[in-house]
Chain A
Amino acid sequence: MRAVWQAARAAVRRRRLQTSVIALVVLVSTMTIVVALGLLDAASAPFDRAFARQQGAQLTATFDTARVDAAQLAATAHAAGVVASAGPFAQAVATLDRPVTINDAGPVTVVGRADPGGPVDRVNLWAGHWATGPGEVVFSSPPGIGGEGRRSALGAQITLSGVRFTVVGLASSVSRTADAWVAPDQMAALHPSSAQMLYRFAHAADDRETAGDLAAVTGSLPPGALTASQSYLSLEQRAEHTPSAFVPFLMVFGVLGLLVAALIVGNVVSGAVVSGFRHIGVLKALGFTPNQVVAVYLVMVSVPALVGCVLGTVLGDLAEQPLLRQIFNGVDGTELGDSVGLSPWVDLVALLGVPALVLLAALLPSLRARALPAARAISAGSAQRTGRALRIQRRLTGSPLPRSVSLGLGLPFARPGRSLLTLAAVVLGVTTVTFSTGLASTVTAFGTAAEGGGAYQVVVNAGRADVGMTPPTHTAAQIGPLLSGLPGARQVTPSAYVPVRLPGVAQGMNLLAYQGLSSDLGTLVVDGRWFDGPGEIVVSPGFLTLHAAAVGDRLTLATAGRTEQVTIVGETLTGDPDYVSTDWSTATALDPAVTPRQFLVKLAPGTDAAAYQRAVRAADPGLHPSGKDTVNAGAMTAVGSASVLSLLLGTVAALGVFNTVVLNARERRRDLGMLKSIGMTPRQVTAMMVTSMAALGLAGGAVGVPLGMLAHRLILPVTGQAGGIDFPASMREVWHPGNLALLALSGVALAALGALIPSRSAARVTIAKVLHNE
């Protein structure tokens, strides 16, 4: 066994480059695998994962403290089926004087809690610290890309029902148990009239079980004590309708990543063994038994592979966390960012699976080497030419191409197995690039459309006195003309929200009504048309799914005391399922008192939006202007993550090519030396080696581009369904001859890049040495 170890060590030392390539390829591949699996894992059930991580409340119950005391509530923790509980926490509905992050001014639910942890609802405090002292409040706000911007809310001075508070932290709760939290002893100032209990149960898989659980905890309490309850099942259902459109795309990346990484590890490792056949012959001649030879080769590739695997897992974990967090937060803008967490099984699969793959890839050719008679093994380096390779080489010889090019073109045929594996890696690399390019085009177009394509630049909200905001000094009717009169304004569209109900549907919704011209505000209609008169509404795809409705359906909308028949005339590209758009007359029919509250302002080209906003504030301190995003954060994140992942995959594929060239150059050292001795210049040697791979790259492009297009076409509808987006043809047909040609060339670029460095070092090989020594 000592001999085996020594021979393996010597082999590793003599093949530093190959050993480093194995370690590097395994490292990057393992990283890709870890990120890809993490992606698949997090994407598979984001709500469930986030919920599990936070020990989410399966039941959030609100009790009237006039009818039940704290001791009675605490006792419910011992009800049948309860496995964990938290509370009672004092709860109050307070009035917020101005918006904080995603919380609009108006009524907010405030809960008194001593800390964000506990047995249930472990709130993710992602900015600042927990509220512990007087005047401190933590607001509910999702982390993530938009979240980073929301950090600016820290330190904000606000009032809750007239009491002054400073925002000291931002946190998110998947169970959505509160809008804001303060220390328990600070609740008194907010005059709480209710208390909150959070529960987890042994059985809560469906509505029937949660109903039973609710009955169990409230059974011993006086009637009327329970004022509200929320089951996690309804949250889960809503989470499924939030646009997580990009998750299916990301899953495709995950699968591609696994494939490419596995292929290349296989290729690199088996290549290392095949290129060592001559060495195997020598070992056998020295008296190594066949098993010892296999052992030498397994040790030789396993050592660098193990190092690469462990490092790759660690780096993959490090890279995965911020990447996935960005992806999920940016995409959803919700608490689902919390679904991202280290999954031990991912590391386990990487740490066991990659070495297993390496061993398998090494074992197959090792067994072949085992069976090889020593004499044949010694000559194997030179005498393994197949008839087809020779025929192709002969045909190429007669071609008018420069000799270095035609020799290069023939090279891949000398080792068809290795060439095929390399080709497969390039194909998958090109598929990834094509797919991600298509994804980027679609998503960018989607993001631009989702933000209204920059049709208007400023949104002005009128302060509401009823929730404690500074009201405008102008009347609602005066604000429109005021805004239009400020310099730079080109068009002002007043709008308002009217809370309405669909009879028979518990969840309330909002009518978004526009006064005047609204069809030019950039909302993309993918089916039907924009509304054109009274009684017509335009809805989001999520609305249609949620209510099993279709364009053309008639619905009844109800407010307190009034109902109105409306027709769905159009479906937008995307949007909140709880909002429908309509014209002003439909809104006044349902609520005659409706007044414009939000004004959408189109500015003349070249107008400084910030200056306009300053002018608005100066004109009336009760008007709250803000700039309209023109770039969709979710879309940007998706494009960004897609780019990172395709870069990673492209790198792995290029490393595969790199390795193939290293092996080819190693095996052909003598040939290269001879070619140089008869006058082949270093540049010609480089050209020959690069050509050999560029040919594969071209073939890879020819196959990979259609595959990438196919993946894009197949995945888009799935994405649409998952995210409640109906992509119009303009976003689906993103291909044109120009970008297709570029993509096809990406294969060549990938191959040529991977080939360049080893080709150049092959070109520098010292001839004198190789020609005389072998």
Chain B
Amino acid sequence: MTSGSVTGPGTGEDEPRLVVRLEDVRKEYGDHHALNGVSLEIRSGEAVAVMGPSGCGKSTLLNMVAGLDRPTSGRVTVHGEDLTGLNETGLALFRRRRIGMVFQFFNLLDDLSALDNVALAAQLTGTPARQARRRAQELLDELGIADRRNAFPAVLSGGERQRVAVARALMNRPALLLADEPTGALDSHSGEQVMDLLLDLNQIGQTLLLVTHDPRLATRCANRVVDLADGRVVGERSLERAG
């Protein structure tokens, strides 16, 4: 697939900017430690994969970065904004402008068409419906599912749904694209397609943070892997990507 206008910010700078910074982040659920002092930095244009066994805190980490959940202690800074200082509304506005999210189970609205699901993200920021649909149409075009734009999620395949979800995540040109097991619910063929899509996006400058326990996804899309175990970073490696 080709990708022209699907560009995130941060391209073409001499010194890659810091997009994400976690400082000694801890998260406790009762007396269970989901995150046990995680520090991590992600620079603009990077594609970072977080890996580790089930229950090690990967999703929790991603939620911290997305502002979907608050750390028990530590600090989360994304695109220069300290998330710990934001209230619920501030976090919502932050997600709108800076973050795109893709989930394992797509999370599309069942009663909106593919096109309207994608347009929704822009409409929330106050973009008029017509303009939002035009941009959604462009994105669906670029992701190769323009012909399915009027279909409802219930009749789309898993791969198609995930591509709609990616389009929605890109709608507001986010500084950071977050993906939690984006291929986890897909068969291998659809999984491949989504991997290609993510890779393409990163290659045109989109900063990526993926959570996965699929080594193929990591090696294919990421240029850095962070290994997590029991809520701690236990290793980091840089990768020469296959693509």
A interface with B by C-beta (< 8 Å): 382-383, 385, 389-390, 393-394, 397-400, 402-404, 410, 414, 670-671, 673-684, 764, 766-768, 771-772, 774
A–B pairs, 12, beta carbons within 8 Å: A385-B110, A673-B107, A674-B107, A676-B92, A678-B124, A678-B168, A679-B93, A679-B94, A679-B172, A680-B92, A681-B88, A764-B88
B180 nearest in chain A by CB position: A772
B95 x A682 contact (CB < 8 A) = no
Q: Which of B69, B120, B129 lies in contact with A399, CB distance below 8 A? A: B129
How far, in angstroms, from A307 to B103 measured CA to CA in the complex?
42
B130 nearest in chain A by CB position: A398
B119 x A397 contact (CB < 8 A) = yes
B107 x A382 contact (CB < 8 A) = no
Pick the 5 closest A-B CB pairs, nearest first.
A679-B96, A403-B123, A681-B92, A674-B107, A768-B63
| Cβ contacts under 8 Å, A764 to chain B | 88
| Cβ contacts under 8 Å, B124 to chain A | 403-404, 675, 678-680, 684
B121 x A678 contact (CB < 8 A) = yes
Q: A393-B112, A774-B105 are in contact. Are A677 and B95 (CB under 8 A)?
A: yes
Q: Which of A410, A670, A677, A682 lies in contact with B66, CB distance below 8 A? A: A677
B152 x A390 contact (CB < 8 A) = yes
B121 x A414 contact (CB < 8 A) = no
Interface check B193, CB cutoff 8 A: no
Interface check B147, CB cutoff 8 A: no
Main secondary structure of the interface of A (DSSP, over half): helix
B89 nearest in chain A by CB position: A681
List 5 extra interface pairs beyond A389-B111, A398-B133, A678-B121, CB under 8 A.
A402-B126, A676-B92, A681-B89, A768-B68, A772-B59
Interface check B213, CB cutoff 8 A: no
A382 x B116 contact (CB < 8 A) = no
Shortest Cβ distance from residue A717 to the other chain B in the assembled complex, whole angstroms: 49
- Which B residues, 60 to 76, have Cβ-Cβ distances below 8 Å to chain A? 60, 63, 66, 68-69
How far, in angstroms, from A671 to B112 measured CA to CA in the complex?
11
B92 x A679 contact (CB < 8 A) = yes
Q: Which of A393, A402, A678, A771 lies in contact with B96, CB distance below 8 A? A: A678
How far, in angstroms, from A282 to B88 measured CA to CA in the complex?
34
| Cβ contacts under 8 Å, B99 to chain A | 679
Shortest Cβ distance from residue A128 to the other chain B in the assembled complex, whole angstroms: 63
Shortest Cβ distance from residue B204 to the other chain A in the assembled complex, whole angstroms: 22
Shortest Cβ distance from residue B135 to the other chain A in the assembled complex, whole angstroms: 14
How far, in angstroms, from A469 to B110 measured CA to CA in the complex?
87
Q: A399-B129, A768-B69 are in contact. Are A682 and B92 (CB under 8 A)?
A: yes
B153 nearest in chain A by CB position: A382
A390 x B63 contact (CB < 8 A) = no
Q: A394-B116, A397-B116, A678-B121 are in contact. Are A382 and B110 (CB under 8 A)?
A: yes
| Cβ contacts under 8 Å, A390 to chain B | 111, 113, 152
How far, in angstroms, from A325 to B71 measured CA to CA in the complex?
60
B interface with A by C-beta (< 8 Å): 59-60, 63, 66, 68-69, 88-89, 92-97, 99-101, 103-105, 107-113, 116, 119-121, 123-126, 128-130, 133, 152, 154, 168-169, 172, 180
B181 nearest in chain A by CB position: A772
How far, in angstroms, from A678 to B107 measured CA to CA in the complex?
11
How far, in angstroms, from A37 to B75 measured CA to CA in the complex?
63
| Cβ contacts under 8 Å, A414 to chain B | 111
| Cβ contacts under 8 Å, A676 to chain B | 68, 92, 95
How far, in angstroms, from A680 to B96 measured CA to CA in the complex?
8
B69 x A679 contact (CB < 8 A) = no
B129 x A679 contact (CB < 8 A) = no
B89 x A683 contact (CB < 8 A) = yes
Q: A382-B110, A389-B111, A399-B129 are in contact. Are A681 and B93 (CB under 8 A)?
A: yes
A677 x B68 contact (CB < 8 A) = yes
B101 nearest in chain A by CB position: A677
B68 x A383 contact (CB < 8 A) = no
Q: A403-B124, A677-B66, A768-B68 are in contact. Are A397 and B129 (CB under 8 A)?
A: yes
| Cβ contacts under 8 Å, B123 to chain A | 403
How far, in angstroms, from A675 to B107 measured CA to CA in the complex?
9
Q: Which of B104, B120, B152 lies in contact with A678, CB distance below 8 A? A: B120
How far, in angstroms, from A382 to B93 measured CA to CA in the complex?
28
A766 x B69 contact (CB < 8 A) = yes
How far, in angstroms, from A520 to B124 measured CA to CA in the complex?
67
A402 nearest in chain B by CB position: B126
Most chain A beta carbons < 10 A, residue from B107, B129, B133 = B107
A683 nearest in chain B by CB position: B89
B129 x A400 contact (CB < 8 A) = yes
A390 nearest in chain B by CB position: B111
How far, in angstroms, from A381 to B17 measured CA to CA in the complex?
44
How far, in angstroms, from A477 to B121 measured CA to CA in the complex?
91
Most chain A beta carbons < 10 A, residue from B59, B69, B123 = B123
A399 nearest in chain B by CB position: B129
How far, in angstroms, from A182 to B114 measured CA to CA in the complex?
90
B108 nearest in chain A by CB position: A674
Most chain B beta carbons < 10 A, residue from A389, A394, A399, A683 = A394
B88 x A385 contact (CB < 8 A) = no
A763 nearest in chain B by CB position: B88
Q: Which of A400, A402, A404, A682 lies in contact with B88, CB distance below 8 A? A: A682
| Cβ contacts under 8 Å, A678 to chain B | 95-96, 100-101, 120-121, 124, 168-169
| Cβ contacts under 8 Å, A683 to chain B | 89
Shortest Cβ distance from residue A399 to the other chain B in the assembled complex, whole angstroms: 7
| Cβ contacts under 8 Å, B107 to chain A | 670-671, 673-674, 677, 771
| Cβ contacts under 8 Å, B96 to chain A | 678-679
How far, in angstroms, from A41 to B87 measured CA to CA in the complex?
56
How far, in angstroms, from A767 to B129 measured CA to CA in the complex?
26
Shortest Cβ distance from residue B130 to the other chain A in the assembled complex, whole angstroms: 8
A769 nearest in chain B by CB position: B69
Shortest Cβ distance from residue A471 to the other chain B in the assembled complex, whole angstroms: 82
Shortest Cβ distance from residue A67 to the other chain B in the assembled complex, whole angstroms: 93
A383 x B103 contact (CB < 8 A) = no
How far, in angstroms, from A764 to B89 measured CA to CA in the complex?
11
Q: A390-B152, A403-B123 are in contact. Are A679 and B97 (CB under 8 A)?
A: yes
Shortest Cβ distance from residue A689 to the other chain B in the assembled complex, whole angstroms: 15
B63 nearest in chain A by CB position: A768
| Cβ contacts under 8 Å, A677 to chain B | 66, 68, 95, 101, 103, 107
How far, in angstroms, from A772 to B128 measured CA to CA in the complex?
31
Q: Which of B133, B152, B180 lies in contact with A385, CB distance below 8 A? A: B152
How far, in angstroms, from A678 to B92 measured CA to CA in the complex?
8
How far, in angstroms, from A393 to B59 measured CA to CA in the complex?
33
A397 nearest in chain B by CB position: B116
Shortest Cβ distance from residue B211 to the other chain A in the assembled complex, whole angstroms: 10
| Cβ contacts under 8 Å, B168 to chain A | 678
B111 x A383 contact (CB < 8 A) = no
Most chain B beta carbons < 10 A, residue from A389, A399, A410, A677 = A677
How far, in angstroms, from A393 to B110 measured CA to CA in the complex?
11
B93 x A383 contact (CB < 8 A) = no
| Cβ contacts under 8 Å, B126 to chain A | 402
A385 x B101 contact (CB < 8 A) = no
Shortest Cβ distance from residue B198 to the other chain A in the assembled complex, whole angstroms: 18
